[in-house]
Amino acid sequence: MSNFVISCGGTGGHLAPGISLAERLIEEGHHCWLIISKKEVDSRLVRKYPQLDFVRAPGAGFSFSPLRFVKFFIQQFQLLIFAFSLLRNKRPDIIVAFGGFITVGITIAGVIHGCPIAIHEANRKPGKATRYLRGLVKRLYLPEGVQLAGVPLDSIKYFGYPLRKGIRRTPKELARRTLRIDVNGKLLVVLGGCQGAQVLNEWVNANFEKLGTEGISVYCVTGLGKGNNGVFEHRSTSNEVVKAYYSTFCDNMGVLMSAADLILSRAGAGTIAELMQCRVPSILVPYPNATDNHQLANARFLEQLGASLTIEQDQMEGLKSEVIELIYNDWLLDKFRQNLQRLNPSKSAELIVHDLENLSSKFTKKSNSKRLQVV
């Protein structure tokens, strides 16, 4: 069996697929260590997985702000020292990286140690870590149809986003009972990504009563530090009670998505994969400051496949009307669900595990052959 170091910290979009991959690798008898950041979002998500080995690493995201720029380089140096020590102790057969600010230090240390590197890129526009490190990898996992120059074709595999086992479609009424969502009519779920989106939270605050008048209840995941847990009530024009649920975090995303008639969300790669898996229609509002505007590329991809609508953040004045029109258009919602069903990503984790096992076996044989030649 093989040892794997999985670099996946910094955001839920990096951490969640790392957890998914580790779960499958461990089931096959391998050993895994997941390298995560010291950010609160990482700490909150890993509580659900006490059976996995998480190692917290130093590191900070890149910024052009002078103070943050200095902090980035200082912590990258600390991360590099940390990575050398980690790799000497764990002696992994392969390092798997999911992008983010931790990936660079771990990858460079791995290359110096002679450890094969695999990088998984989830976005339709590859991130900085993937672009800068692509010449160092033995395997690059890309979304179908995405091109990246400077990588040998035999190093690329077109596999999707590895989803955690808990992300699966649940019957709507069961999902609502599980989450104790007590609504009879339509439910709009609002997601701002792992850290929340203040602009979406403010939109819910400004529009809940108008949506409630139309018989639409709301469940808003505000993000850690961006709101409080609570429930508010309103009466529709037919005198039915509708509710607005506010929650700072959700660690049961598959069930929450399954409870929704429609989702309003940012467009991170993880969210896109979860929408596919749970087959939930959506309106996506991409984060406009995402690196290389990759969220817009993700959202447009799903929209072009007839499975979602995209509204850019500077065009949100018509969002309320779009939500009301779409959530009551059962014919179009069914079309979205049918198109999402054809995009089911549920086998991605298994495909990646199988490929990594072959890759590990290949490089282990090469390493053993070199040792024999030296002897």
**In this predicted structure, what is the pLDDT of residue 317?**
92
Closest CA to 162 of 300, 11, 345: 345
Per-residue pLDDT reduced to its tens digit, 298-355: 999 999 999 999 999 999 999 999 999 999 999 999 999 999 988 876 688 999 999 9
Count CA atoms closer than 13 A to 161's CA, side-chain side: 26
- Contact (Cβ atoms closer than 8 angstroms) between residue 6 and residue 96: yes
Structure tokens at 241: 């009670």
Classify 332 as helix, strand or coil.
helix
Q: In angstroms, rounded to a whole number, what is the distance separating the alpha carbons of residues 156 and 60?
A: 29
Pick from 331, 220, 345, 217: which is nearest to 278 by CA? 345
pLDDT in tens, 5-40: 999 987 778 899 999 999 999 999 999 999 998 888
* Max mean pLDDT range (54-63, 122-131, 271-280): 271-280
- What confidence tier does 371 reach under pLDDT thresholds 50, 70, 90? very low
- Comparison of pLDDT for 150 and 220, the residue scoring more: 220
Q: Which two tokens stand for residue 292?
A: 């290389």
- Give the β-pairing of 230-235 and 241-247: antiparallel
Q: Could you tell me which residues come within 8 angstroms of residue 289 by beta carbon, excluding any fewer than 6 positions away?
A: none
**CB-count burial class (<10 Å; 0-12, 13-18, 19+) for 232:** middle
At 214, which amino acid appears? E
pLDDT category of residue 372 using cuts at 50, 70 and 90? very low
d(Cα 37, Cα 55) in Å, to the nearest integer?
Answer: 8
Type of residue found at 98: F
Radius of gyration of the chain (CA): 22
Say whether pLDDT at 375 is over 50. no
pTM given for the model: 0.87
How far is the first Cα of the chain from the last one, in angstroms, to the nearest whole number?
Answer: 25
Closest CA to 322 of 191, 219, 186, 211: 211
Rounded Cα gap, residues 136 and 104, in angstroms: 11
Provide φ and ψ at 95, rounded to 5°. -105, 130
Place of tokens 């009551």: 328
CA 117 – CA 96 distance, rounded (Å): 6
Q: Can you tell me whether residue 86 is helix, strand or coil? A: helix
Residue appearing with tokens 């709507």: 172
**Averaged over 38-63, what is the pLDDT?**
83
pLDDT of 370 over the 60 cut: no
Phi, psi at residue 259, to the nearest 5°? -75, -15
Angle between helices 269-278 and 12-27 (to 10 degrees): 60
Phi, psi of 125, rounded to the nearest 5 degrees: -115, 110
Q: Which domains does the chain possess?
A: 3-163+346-374 (3.40.50.2000), 172-341 (3.40.50.2000)
Question: Hey, what are 180's tokens?
Answer: 């104790």
More confident residue, 113 or 62: 113
Tens digits of per-residue pLDDT, 220-273? 999 877 777 889 888 877 878 889 999 988 888 999 999 999 999 999 999 999
Confidence label for 373 from pLDDT (cuts 50, 70 and 90): very low
Res. 295 pLDDT band, cuts 50 70 90: very high
Checking if the pLDDT of 296 tops 90, the result is: yes
pLDDT band for position 102 (cuts 50, 70, 90)? confident
